[in-house]
A and B are shown apart, each in its own frame.
Chain A
Amino acid sequence: AQKITQTQPGMFVQEKEAVTLDCTYDTSDPSYGLFWYKQPSSGEMIFLIYQGSYDQQNATEGRYSLNFQKARKSANLVISASQLGDSAMYFCAMREGQGRYSTLTFGKGTMLLVSP
């Protein structure tokens, strides 16, 4: 079974609107972390937001928020007030276990296109 599932290959949104990118995960480890990264066409991976499995509150970073529903094993990324520069590939990733040096498992990604 896939550990990280991103079911939306592509999403379209108009500038200034909000958009939700879906991510579900599969793990039996009670300690894990969930990440979202943005990859523009240049290829770099830009860290956006992190949610720990024991965090009580949903993570927020500026226009980015993570809708963490632990029972449903989902960690959707919400981008508010979309901008043209948000057009990029978005990857959800998970790190399992308590070790800080555990590796990341990535989903297949969602391509977001923001139109004027």
Chain B
Amino acid sequence: SAVISQKPSRDICQRGTSLTIQCQVDSQVTMMFWYRQQPGQSLTLIATANQGSEATYESGFVIDKFPISRPNLTFSTLTVSNMSPEDSSIYLCSVEGTGTDTQYFGPGTRLTVL
């Protein structure tokens, strides 16, 4: 399995500001994934982050709104830019476990935008 940590665990932000979420893994991984879970909903993939290249965004998500960095094989950040109340969600990063087919998730960042 993989041990994943996220910072912050939760935050309350004002409309129009930006928040950067950090994701740290205890082992080197090729791909990291960022998901969003809006209140009462299922998980939706935002983007896939591969070290050394631009992130690949899913339909409905753009780099200007959700810029992602992947500076090395154990770390990634997701920024939620120019926030609105509709961005209030849990944001989760995930990775594939080394030598397994399983995808593991971090504890999530619970974001509330006022």
Contacts and interface: CB of A to CB of B under 8 A. Distances in A.
Contacts, number: 54
Contacts of A68: none
B35 to A, nearest CB: 8
Interface string A46-75: 110010100000000000000000000000
Nearest to A92: B42
Contacts of B107: 42-44
Contacts of B101: 33, 50, 52, 95, 100
Interface in B76-99: 90, 92, 94, 96
Given A44-B108, A101-B31, A101-B96, A109 B103 contact: no
Contact of A103 (B33, B90, B102, B110): B33
Interface residues of A, number: 22
B32 to A, nearest CB: 10
B96 A103 contact: no
A101 B48 CA distance: 9
A37 B107 CA distance: 13
A25 interface: no
Interface of A: 33, 35, 37, 42-47, 50, 52, 91, 93, 95, 100-101, 103-104, 106-109
